[in-house]
Structure 1
Amino acid sequence: MAQPQQTESHSRQNRWSLQGMTALVTGGTKGLGLAVVEELSMLGATVHTCSRTETELNECIHHLQMKGLKVTGSVCDVSSRPQRQTLINTVSSLFNGKLNIFVNNVGTSVLKPTLEYNAEDFSLVMSTNFESAFHLCQLAHPLLRASGAASIVLMSSALGIVSANVGTVYSATKGAMNQLAKNLACEWAKDNIRTNSVAPCFLVMGNSWTK
């Protein structure tokens, strides 16, 4: 006899539950970040996210809350050190000093030949991608440790693993992020904090990639 098809919500419940868990997802108002926010929320987690743009953030939060999801948000440019500190302070206050999941999703790119990068390009990509990931992990560590069982996910890129003929600085930040994940996985295992990086890929038309 054919089995009845499972609903989407029932399928999620059969996989696992994040009920009672708390999560911070940076840059969760569009694209991959938004998909992560929705998935974590639908699995039961209470999620806080951030965006540089207040209007975009408010529209996204309203949309998610109308779907019955437990999501809050705050304005934050993660390339700013003071704003990163404010973000973590907000998360600590919302979640009573504990955080189970930190997804470092924010990233930017300036895809140019190496000789065309200037100091501003380098600073923007480095501060947004790698410096922010490193600092936010530092700031979030006490909250993650306090939860007793925590997970960090760093959103890297295939360009941090393979090579391409464009985007040297972007690729370097993603390669550094992969190494950061390896080191933190070893260093913070004693605090019951798992650390992983994931490496999505996008198609760069007209540019060759090699392993």
Structure 2
Amino acid sequence: MNPFDLTGRKAAVTGGNGGIGLGMARGLARAGADVAILGRNPDKTRAAAEAIAAEFHVRAVPILADLGVAAQCASAAEQAAEALGGLDILINNAGINIRRLPQEMTEEQWRDVLEVNLTGVFLLTKAAYPFLKAGGKGKVILIGSMTSIFGSSFAPAYAATKGAVVQLAKSLALAWAPDHIQVNAILPGWYDTDLTYKAREEIAGLHERVLARIPQGRWGKPEDIAGTAVWLASAASDYVTGIAVPVDGGYSAML
């Protein structure tokens, strides 16, 4: 048997309608999983689900949810499990960033980032727990960042949440090991997406500085992260839990 085969498995991917979230959702579907795409934009979320279903011939359903709203986190997990007939895999990828120097960031902006990137991640993962436990072999993947390792002068709230996500993954891994649920984190490096395009517009010289540090000599593409997501979602990683894996072209290995 192929330990990377996800046929018959049921996955939910938050922020799966674009960028690296879509890259991971496509990777799971290519490996055979049915996928629920969770997102805030109805047209974009529906289009992503339809495209995945058509290309990979799996069941793909759109679920509308704002993970900055606590009540919607619980309902999103329930909707995904109901639509797919259970839930085996959760990739908690959705996040926001507000780029401000610490002294310029308001309390409201700070709280907005924490609500989505940390509180929303916790609440949705907690809401998914009964379904993951019921299946007997649950997989949770939380998405951190290079700022889980390094600080960021222009994104202090984002960096704080992404550091906390790694500790949350470790804590959930310990708590849920008896339930046969593995919890791990992926730390993406710099990927060529709409979000980083905006960052490159706002921060002079960012593109060149990042590129100069990546040993592989290029920014990542969404499909570059799919293989790691499939590995952590599959039986191939059944003895792996509580780790954080950089997928960054070697960025974090550089001095």
TM range (shorter): 0.7 to 0.9
Q: Does the 8 Å CA contact 2:170/2:183 hold for their aligned counterparts? A: yes
- 1:94 Cα offset (Å): 2.2
Give the alignment partner of residue 78 of structure 1, picking from 63, 67, 77.
67
Residue 28, structure 1, aligned to residue 16, structure 2: yes
The residue that corresponds to 1:161 in the other structure is 149
Residue 182, structure 1, aligned to residue 170, structure 2: yes
Farther off after superposition, 140-149 or 68-77: 68-77
**1:114-147 C-alpha deviation (Å, 9 max, x unpaired):** 0011122112100110001111111111111001
Q: Secondary structure at the match of 1:198?
A: strand
- 1:110 Cα offset (Å): 0.9
Structure 2 length-normalised TM: 0.72
Residue 39, structure 1, aligned to residue 42, structure 2: no
Q: For the pair shown, which has the larger CA radius of gyration, 1 or 2?
A: 1
Q: Does the 8 Å CA contact 2:13/2:36 hold for their aligned counterparts? A: yes
Give the alignment partner of residue 93 of structure 2, picking from 105, 110, 132.
105
**1:8-56 C-alpha deviation (Å, 9 max, x unpaired):** xxxxx96721011110100101110001111101111111011111111
Q: Does the 8 Å CA contact 2:148/2:166 hold for their aligned counterparts? A: yes
Residue 56, structure 1, aligned to residue 72, structure 2: no
- 1:66 Cα offset (Å): 2.1
Where structure 1 has 5 or more consecutive residues not aligned to the other structure, the ranges are 1-12
* C-alpha RMSD of matched pairs (Å): 2.1
The residue that corresponds to 1:65 in the other structure is 53
The residue that corresponds to 1:193 in the other structure is 181
The residue that corresponds to 2:134 in the other structure is 146
Q: 1:15 to 1:138 in 2, by over 3 A?
A: closer
The residue that corresponds to 2:107 in the other structure is 119
Q: Secondary structure at the match of 2:188?
A: coil
Point out 4+ residue stretches in structure 1 off by more than 3 angstroms. 203-211
Q: 1:59 to 1:95 in 2, by over 3 A?
A: closer
Code of the residue aligned with 2:68 in structure 1: it is S
Instruction: Give the number of the structure with larger relative contact order, counting CA–CA contacts within 8 Å between residues 6 or more apart.
Output: 2
Looking at structure 2, the residues matched to 124 and 108 of structure 1 have their Cα atoms a distance apart, in angstroms, of 8
Residue 92, structure 1, aligned to residue 73, structure 2: no
Looking at structure 2, the residues matched to 191 and 66 of structure 1 have their Cα atoms a distance apart, in angstroms, of 34
Farther off after superposition, 201-210 or 58-67: 201-210
